[in-house]
Amino acid sequence: MPLDLDSLNEKQRAAVEHLEGPLLVLAGAGTGKTRTLTYRLAHLLEQGLASPHSILAITFTRKAAAELAHRLESLVGDQAQDITATTFHGLGYRLLRAEAHVFGYKVGALSVFDATDARRLLQRALKEANVNSERWDLEMVAQTISSAKEQLHGPDTFVTTPNDFFQESIGKVYARYQQLLLEQNAVDYADLIRLTLALLQQKPEALAFYQNLFRYISVDELQDTSAAQYELVRYLSWAHRNVYAVGSPVQAIYSWRGSDINNILTRFQRDFENAPLVILDQNYRSTRTILDAANHLVRSFDYPDKALWTENEPGAAIQLVTLNSEREEALFIGRQAQQWVTDHNGAFTDCAVLFRTKAQGRLLEQVFMQLGVPYTLVGDFRFLERREIKDMLAYLRLLHNLDDAVALQRIINRPPRGLGSATLQKIQDGAPDFALECLYGLEDRNDLSDKIKATGKKFLDLVLDELYRAAKEKPLPEFFEFALTATGYLDWIAQDPEANQRLANLRTLQGMTVRFADHGAAGLGNFLAELATLSDADVSEGEEGIMLITMHAAKGLEFPVVFLAGMEEGLFPHVKSTRTANQLGEERRLAYVAVTRAREHLYLTHARSRQLGIDTRENRISRFIHDIPSELMERRSGAENPSLRLSLPVIQQPDPAEPALLVEA
């Protein structure tokens, strides 16, 4: 069936019908940017200008990529399966897996270390580089190296000031850390972009290959790209210049993780000087009242996409609710959500609570549990950190990459095999790391007991024979089941006091492998890489109920009912984000993003006093509320509701002046 372009508005259609050459689309909140993008890709295929294999669509989250693929399938059918829709880091893994030999890696078995394993390796690098770990804090070193990678500095270019003690000390750690990663055939999260770009810069034939492969490139959320991510797009698209970039400067909220708003404000049109500009400014999401409030929040900015309009009805007034404390605030939100679900015959999944810091979610979660209100917690995901999940992922990682010593050391004695730390140290016999090679030739060792020799050989046979062969032959979900049994792990956890929950968690993990069942030999690596590159917005603790989520993680989502909690000075805008005009400007854009998540009903709640650390503080109402015209709001007080007197145990909230509170998403 031909595409119905008449269903698009005039500006959407202009973007869809621009098929050749660069194009910049500024798409404000709720203006149909995903619909416009998918129609454009479908139009490319319908006009015969592109094959599905030649299309690359880059998004920021796996959920966004999956949504894009789903919508494309509804428009073009099975052709959508051959379009590459992925995240920046997913794209990096895809290219490095095939080309990493350029940097000395083994092709096809590349591991991506998560933050926990990367920190463990970095701790070892600190020690082996003879750098005082008491002088240089591990987290500071990790952030310094990660920042260097974001700026495309490898170990060889890290030191920019000769004889600078700090740079030279961290530079030694950086160099040793990268060597350790190479020895384990692994990269960390930041390497996925840095090394991919280095590949394209250093290997002209690889650059030419991928430029010819991906002749039509689209990139979503251009305002959120870092300098390195932007350069990756520029390199890939430069030959054919068929790059469709979409974003919204008024929604630029991630400078703290390296994004550069200038990529969308100036850089793209400078580099692609003939790129037309299309501005999508009709909002289809929110009521007129909510949209007017959002527009007032950003009226001081000089962004082309700051003033949206809508044909939607005015809808209900925004509810501004004053509570005495953060406890009453949490209770009000829970009770009000229950009331809304009852009055509108709705569902709790229609509601979301957005807050500035993760710490605010603790009390909300506890209150909702006491009220019996179902919820989904986003951005504080613990599933992948559970012991049984980490164990089975370590087995999978080792089978994918036999050089992954970090994974080996985690599972060699899980379940217990009599290979404790003292025994492993003896087997290691002075080797720099405990790797599979340490188990080779045990039968010839005179310093080990027959029992240790037999146990070591049995484990080696399990890994290199049974499991390795099964990993190559079985679809991933079947291999997962085989590994659970063959390793003895299933029998072991059956003896655990929390056996039922642990088994349920493992079944959940197994369910996550189903999507990779038909990926063949690459399925295991693809699955592990996806888990290692998940973002906060991709993971949650449940699948039903009210969504509890930070404002940063809520980007791209929408709900009929939204509660913005903690609308107080010092909390939002955050005390640490009011020191410069740029920081405060980003907080204001974050307020805009938060408000525009609401479709029909918006509640702004604030507490007169809030416990922070051991102190109780009186807080002024957020300046952002003062920017919203009073005629758009209806003021309420939680004190009028006696049900807000539910007794709850005290939970100490971190002080906003403490670094621990400044966790963005």
Q: How far apart are CA 343 and CA 601, in angstroms?
A: 13
Cβ(412)–Cβ(457) below 8 Å: no
pTM for this model (two decimals): 0.86
Nearest alpha-carbon partner for 550 in 534, 574, 576:
574
pLDDT for the residue numbered 657 = 38
Q: How far apart are CA 134 and CA 383, in angstroms?
A: 32
pLDDT band at 660 (very low <50, low <70, confident <90, very high): very low
Strands (E) in 372-480, as ranges, are 375-377
Q: How far apart are CA 324 and CA 609, in angstroms?
A: 6
Average pLDDT over residues 403-409: 92
Check if 478 is active-site.
no
Tokens standing for residue 611: 């416990």
Burial-class residue 631 by CB neighbours within 10 Å (0-12, 13-18, 19+).
Answer: exposed
Check if 597 is active-site.
yes
What does each C-alpha distance from 173 to 58, 165, 502, 628 come to in angstroms?
33, 13, 38, 50
Q: Give me the catalytic one of 194, 597, 599, 610.
A: 597
Q: Give me the catalytic one of 220, 305, 328, 404.
A: 220
Q: How far apart are CA 173 and CA 165, in angstroms?
A: 13
Check if 35 is active-site.
no
Check if 251 is active-site.
yes
The predicted-structure confidence for 560-579, as pLDDT tens digits, reads as follows 999 999 999 999 999 888 88
At residue 118, φ and ψ (nearest 5 deg) are -65, -40
Q: Give me the catalytic one of 117, 221, 326, 329.
A: 221
Residue indicated by tokens 């190479």:
182
| Percent of the chain at pLDDT exceeding 70 | 93
Find residue 546's DSSP bridge partners: 375
pLDDT for the residue numbered 116 = 85
The predicted-structure confidence for 458-468, as pLDDT tens digits, reads as follows 999 999 999 99
Kindly report the average pLDDT of the chain as a whole number.
89
pLDDT band at 84 (very low <50, low <70, confident <90, very high): very high
Tokens standing for residue 536: 């906060």
The predicted-structure confidence for 296-312, as pLDDT tens digits, reads as follows 999 999 998 889 999 99
Q: How far apart are CA 199 and CA 16, in angstroms?
A: 32
Nearest alpha-carbon partner for 653 in 363, 356, 367:
363
Q: Give me the catalytic one of 13, 33, 62, 327.
A: 33
Q: Please enumerate in sequence order all residues whose Cβ is within 8 A of that of 254, keeping only pairs 6 or more positions apart, or say none.
A: 224, 552, 664
Query: Residue 534 above 90 pLDDT?
Result: no
Average pLDDT over residues 228-235: 95
Q: Which residue has the higher pLDDT, 132 or 226?
A: 226
Burial-class residue 255 by CB neighbours within 10 Å (0-12, 13-18, 19+).
Answer: middle
Residue type, 554: A
What does each C-alpha distance from 602 to 27, 319, 477 come to in angstroms?
22, 6, 43
Nearest alpha-carbon partner for 546 in 337, 343, 386:
337
Q: State the pairing for strand pair 559-564/546-550.
A: unpaired
Cβ(600)–Cβ(561) below 8 Å: yes
The neighbour count for residue 306, using CB atoms within 10 Å, is: 21
Nearest alpha-carbon partner for 434 in 413, 459, 396, 406:
406
Q: Give me the catalytic one of 144, 251, 322, 357.
A: 251
Q: How far apart are CA 227 and CA 152, in angstroms?
A: 9
pLDDT band at 539 (very low <50, low <70, confident <90, very high): low
Q: How far apart are CA 628 and CA 630, in angstroms?
A: 6
Span of 49-63, 176-190, 525-539 with lowest mean pLDDT: 525-539
pLDDT for the residue numbered 652 = 41
Nearest alpha-carbon partner for 487 in 501, 505, 506, 500:
506
Percent helix, strand and coil across the chain, each rounded to 5? 55, 15, 35
Check if 349 is active-site.
no
Query: Residue 520 above 80 pLDDT?
Result: no
Measured in residues, the chain has a length of 665
Span of 70-84, 226-240, 537-551, 566-580 with lowest mean pLDDT: 537-551
What distance separates the 2 farthest-apart alpha carbons in the chain? 86
Tokens standing for residue 540: 């949650």
What does each C-alpha distance from 386 to 415, 502, 503 come to in angstroms?
16, 9, 12
In three-state secondary structure terms, 637 is strand
* Nearest-5° Cα angle at 491, 487 to 494: 140
Chain-centre distance of CA 510, in angstroms?
Answer: 21
Q: Please enumerate in sequence order all residues whose Cβ is within 8 A of that of 48, keeping only pairs 6 or more positions apart, or say none.
A: none
Strands (E) in 200-241, as ranges, are 216-219
Q: How far apart are CA 183 and CA 178, in angstroms?
A: 9
Q: How far apart are CA 219 and CA 210, in angstroms?
A: 16
Tokens standing for residue 315: 């809808």
Check if 34 is active-site.
yes
The predicted-structure confidence for 137-160, as pLDDT tens digits, reads as follows 899 999 999 999 988 999 999 998
Indicate left, alpha or beta for 30 from its phi (over 0: left) and psi (-120 to 50: alpha): left
User: According to DSSP H, which parts of 462-516 are helical?
Assistant: 468-473, 476-486, 489-493, 499-512
